[in-house]
A and B are shown apart, each in its own frame.
Chain A
Amino acid sequence: MGIDKETVKYVANLARIELRDEELKRLSEQLKQIIDFIDKLKLLDIKDVEPTSHILPMSNVLRDDQPRESLPISKTLECAPAKEENFFLVPKVIE
């Protein structure tokens, strides 16, 4: 599967990553290599293998509905780039 610069640009935009032209070129090549590598899986004969939906052979990991302490507000806001009173502060978002 080929991966062109436009695809990389599109994905980078979705991930909110700004790429310079030379980075675009380099990453396109690298991503192509990665995808080609993954494509090798297609060569395997998997007709007798059950589909895997999850990497871990476990299921139904659940917890009881019991409240426990949350973080103290000082701790919570410690890593906020900006705050106002008890809120995280962000640039205005308009829908």
Chain B
Amino acid sequence: MTEYEAVIGLEVHVQLKTKTKAFCGCSTEFGKEPNTQVCPICLGFPGVLPVLNRTALDYAIKVALALNCKIHSPTKFDRKNYFYPDLPKNYQISQYDLPLSYDGFLDIDLDGKDKHIRIRRVHLEEDAGKLIHKESTSLVDFNRAGIPLLEIVSEPDINSPEEAYQYLVTLKSIIQYLDVSDCDMEKGSLRCDANISLRKKNTIEFGTKIELKNMNSFKAVKDALTYEIERQKSLLSKNKAIVQETRFWDTKELKTFPMRTKEEAMDYRYFPDPDLPMFIITQEKIQQIRESIPELPREKIQRFIKDYGLSLYVAKILVSSKKDADFAESCLKAYPNKDKKTLVNWLIGPLLQEANTRGCGLADLGITPQGLNELLGFVEKELISNLVAKSVLTEIIEKHKSAATIIQEGNLIQISDTESLEKIAKKVIQENPRSVQDYKGGKNNAIMFLVGQVMKKSQGKANPKIAQELLKRLLNE
């Protein structure tokens, strides 16, 4: 059987989180009443003049630099002409032959091995409106029309659905670190199209390219590519030709289907937009933006491993978002012990669990590094068990109280924590053989001495009654 290799390129669109649209001052706020954030410019009325949003350009340069791209200066905008009801001007302001940036790369991690994915270009354009399809009509909302959009095009260096997935995860995390987009696929602030072809292994000739659309999650991208590889393989094995076409991913059927398109190939008749003069991006500007780029996930992972002795696995979890990484680092710094194991286990264990159930990040739980340390102090002194500590954690998060207050108010050690009391009781029995002998010899008062010792060891937080019962039970065993 012939072995095939998938050749995949991804085209990602990311909405920049500017306050206003790319070329007009309309708000970009999400979820507003339809057509309330529009004006003559973004509705494409005749005679209006678009003016580029400074912040959108800065954000675009920031992403381009973080993706190791070269910057084109001057760069210009072109009109991409086509008719569609979501496009009020009948052209999209985009970039054609002088895109903002080109020739970059992104390194992705595949089970500890790096792979270099080249980026062909990152350019700036405007978003289209939104269509809602009904029985026989379609409704158009232009609130989204004109929102600044970055198009990030990879070279076809991706060879499996898993690599595509890793590419997207890595790209998203970098863009989120740069704080220039929410990258929320559900809200449509990140969208991804793919093209894929198969070729015989160890050959250089490309097969027929299929364009894939309508994948609304990273998992959908992976699934659609997996499906498409199998479909193409099966056609090729039967000596059937693959037709060059655009196919869409059906999220219900979990299959790809050809899109109904007109026979003629799209002809966008790009030409320079005469309304928008050129943009010169100076070395000083590039330098200034480069300096504003924070430490990115890959570097942070390496530093966390080096500085705090974390494993690659743990470091990767902790840096997944910048906010969480900053929180984790504050905790690591504030934690008094040199061995960070207990803290790390709590961060990626109970804390992450709490965050996941609440659909938020570690940093959003409302617990401070000091608050966490205080709780861990109780655990490490064996004053409360892990189990109790977990419920205390939940309460810290829900009631915004300190661990000490919760433990004190709830009499948690006394009531529910026989587990750690038993530990203390056993220690006390071991350390006081004479009193044990006295008790066993019939001196009932000796038990009170042992209870006292348990109280002392638990810093007064043990319930004397339970301690006494425990001791009696242990001594009678």
Contact = CB atoms under 8 A, between A and B. Distances in A.
A56 B139 CA distance: 39
A94 B54 contact: no
Interface string A10-38: 00011010000000000000000000000
Contacts of B83: 16
Nearest to B131: A93
Determine the interface band of chain B, counting residues with CB < 8 A from chain A: 35 or more
Interface of A: 13-14, 16, 53-56, 58-68, 70-71, 73, 76-77, 84-95
A76 B35 contact: yes
B54 A56 contact: no
B38 A70 contact: yes
B279 A91 contact: no
A54 B278 contact: yes
B132 A63 contact: no
Interface of B: 18-20, 25-27, 33-40, 43, 51-57, 74, 76, 81, 83-85, 98, 131-142, 248, 259-260, 264, 267, 269, 272, 274, 276-280
Nearest to A16: B83
Contact of B133 (A58, A70, A92): A92
Given A53-B76, A89-B139, A95-B259, 18 more contacts: A59-B277, A59-B278, A64-B55, A65-B56, A66-B25, A68-B20, A70-B26, A70-B38, A84-B137, A87-B34, A87-B132, A87-B140, A88-B139, A88-B141, A89-B137, A90-B85, A90-B137, A94-B260
Contacts of B98: 53
19 contacts: A53-B272, A54-B274, A61-B277, A64-B54, A64-B55, A65-B55, A66-B19, A67-B19, A68-B20, A71-B43, A76-B43, A85-B34, A88-B35, A88-B142, A90-B85, A90-B137, A91-B136, A93-B85, A93-B131
A71 B52 contact: no
A71 B38 contact: yes
Nearest to B259: A95
Given A65-B53, A66-B20, A71 B277 contact: no
Nearest to B36: A73
A82 to B, nearest CB: 8
Given A54-B76, A68-B25, A90 B138 contact: yes
Contacts of B43: 71, 76
A76 B38 contact: yes
A87 B141 contact: yes
A86 B278 contact: no
B290 to A, nearest CB: 19
Contacts of A67: 19-20, 25-27
Nearest to A65: B55
Contacts of B26: 67-68, 70
Contacts of A95: 248, 259-260
Contacts of B84: 93
Given A60-B280, A63-B51, A86 B35 contact: yes
Contacts of A84: 137, 139
A56 B43 CA distance: 25
A91 B139 CA distance: 9
A82 B53 CA distance: 32
Contacts of B76: 53-54
Given A56-B277, A61-B277, A67-B19, A91 B137 contact: yes
A91 B138 contact: yes
A71 to B, nearest CB: 5
A41 to B, nearest CB: 16
Contacts of A16: 83
B177 to A, nearest CB: 20
B39 A71 contact: yes
A66 B85 CA distance: 28
B280 A88 contact: no
Nearest to B246: A95
Contact of B140 (A61, A90, A94): A90
Given A70-B26, A93-B131, A65 B138 contact: no
Closest 8 CB pairs of A and B: A87-B139, A68-B25, A65-B55, A88-B140, A62-B54, A86-B34, A90-B85, A67-B27
B119 to A, nearest CB: 24
B35 A55 contact: no
Contacts of A53: 74, 76, 98, 272, 278
